[in-house]
A = this chain, B = another copy of it.
Amino acid sequence: MFFASDNSGPVPPQVMAALTTANTGHVMSYGTDALTDAVTDQIRTLFEAPDASVHLVATGTAANSLALATLCQPFDTVFCSPVAHIHEDECNAPEFYTGGAKLTLVPGDDRMTADALRIAIKGQGNRGVHGPQRGPVSITQVTEQGNLYSLTELRALATVAQNYDLPVHLDGARFANACVALNCTPAEMSWKVGIDVAVFGGTKNGLMGVEAVIFFNPAHARAFELRRKRGAHLFSKHRYLAAQMSAYLQDDLWRDLATTANARSAQLLDGLQGLAEIRNDARANMIFAALPRALHQKAQAAGAQYHISGDLNGEDPDGLLTARFVCDWSIDPTDIEAFLDLLGKA
């Protein structure tokens, strides 16, 4: 009964097999190997972007920070949601990698609206040299609250950015879950709606630790590579990143894994109806749901693992506390049933 995160499960056997297959003989290091060439080609094909530059890194924070730093001057500001991972969960990595750029929080929730973004951009960059200059817009899909932007909403945000000549970054730590939920292609959810650089996340969707950073305009490729090396994120034994990604791409494993994760989440969501107040749109693999404190206490005592906002040991047993449930591909459906049984019987 583990719903705490999608970075806690095992990797699928295909990934282990790919690592084993790759684990033979000597190959050139630092990403100059044939397998790396192959997977970056495959990603270009998958994204219908033959000119894109594609780079692998091992952490999502590296992917985001390096991508933003490549698009940004240190006197700029990045526009993002107040709950964006780059703002809340990366310990100032974007500020570090950009050389001290600022993050301007677009008022609202996890999903920025085009209007709010436009107002935020207008409100910055009008102080001449005194204030920070307008820089990239960063969008997270799936959001940190488990919500989805529609393709129309993404396009609207990107259009606002384009109107100010600002590049658009997509934090796609859960890119696959979003694609599946929206039933769209990677291209449709990236450059076709105006994204300039996308992070095609693998780690939360079953890899040990690989993210692909995709610049649809390859002009930035060299600067990214130098920043990646300077940031100590260029792996010598790069084939082991490539191997993971190779398995991920093979027969659309990325899509299968996300389909499974989303289905598990749907199963859980289904069972929670009636027991909990659902607080997000929950179409991907994260559910935010409010349940009575007493129920949480019982569930956690029985070994269920998930994050709760608020004080689990507070007084009112009927008080609602919002939980975050995350399903990854590896969760056993019987675990979900067991968890729902536990809640239902309480």
Q: Quick one: which of A128-155 are within 8 Å of B by CB?
A: 128-133
Q: Quick one: which of A34-84 are within 8 Å of B by CB?
A: 57-62, 65-66, 73-77
Q: Are A92 and B65 in contact (CB under 8 A)?
A: no
CA distance A230 to B132 in the complex (A): 9
Q: Quick one: which of A223-265 are within 8 Å of B by CB?
A: 223, 225-237, 240
Q: Are A8 and B23 in contact (CB under 8 A)?
A: no
A binding-site residues for B, Cβ under 8 Å: 2, 4-5, 7-11, 16, 19-20, 23-30, 57-62, 65-66, 73-77, 88-93, 95-103, 105, 127-133, 203-204, 208-209, 223, 225-237, 240, 305, 330
Q: What's the least CB distance linking A247 to chain B, in Å?
A: 13
Q: Are A236 and B209 in contact (CB under 8 A)?
A: yes
CA distance A208 to B208 in the complex (A): 12
Q: Are A16 and B26 in contact (CB under 8 A)?
A: no
Q: Are A235 and B58 in contact (CB under 8 A)?
A: yes
Given A88-B127, A203-B237, do A229 and B93 touch, yes or no (CB 8 Å)?
Answer: yes
Q: Are A232 and B233 in contact (CB under 8 A)?
A: yes
Q: How many chain copies? A: 4
Q: Are A91 and B230 in contact (CB under 8 A)?
A: yes
Other-chain residue from B57, B102, B230, B305 in contact with A103 (beta carbon distance below 8 A):
B102
Other-chain residue from B19, B99, B226, B228 in contact with A133 (beta carbon distance below 8 A):
B226
Q: Are B7 and A237 in contact (CB under 8 A)?
A: yes
Q: What's the least CB distance linking A98 to chain B, in Å?
A: 8
22 cross-chain CB contacts under 8 A = A5-B29, A5-B236, A8-B29, A11-B23, A26-B305, A61-B232, A66-B232, A73-B226, A74-B99, A75-B229, A76-B92, A90-B130, A91-B132, A93-B230, A93-B232, A99-B99, A129-B229, A130-B229, A208-B237, A208-B240, A231-B231, A231-B232
- Chain B residue with Cβ nearest A76: B92
Chain A at the B interface: SS class:
loop
CA distance A28 to B102 in the complex (A): 28
- Chain B residue with Cβ nearest A335: B26
**Known contacts A5-B236, A76-B92, A89-B127; can you find 11 more A-B pairs with CB under 8 A?**
A4-B28, A7-B29, A8-B27, A19-B19, A74-B99, A75-B91, A75-B230, A90-B130, A92-B100, A96-B231, A204-B236
Other-chain residue from B19, B27, B73, B232 in contact with A65 (beta carbon distance below 8 A):
B232
- Chain B residue with Cβ nearest A226: B75
Residues of B within 8 A of A103 (CB): 102
Residues of B within 8 A of A59 (CB): 232-236
Other-chain residue from B2, B7, B234 in contact with A129 (beta carbon distance below 8 A):
B234
Residues of B within 8 A of A98 (CB): 100
Q: What's the least CB distance linking A345 to chain B, in Å?
A: 23
Given A24-B10, A28-B8, A229-B130, do A95 and B101 touch, yes or no (CB 8 Å)?
Answer: yes
Q: Are B229 and A91 in contact (CB under 8 A)?
A: yes
Residues of B within 8 A of A23 (CB): 10-11, 16
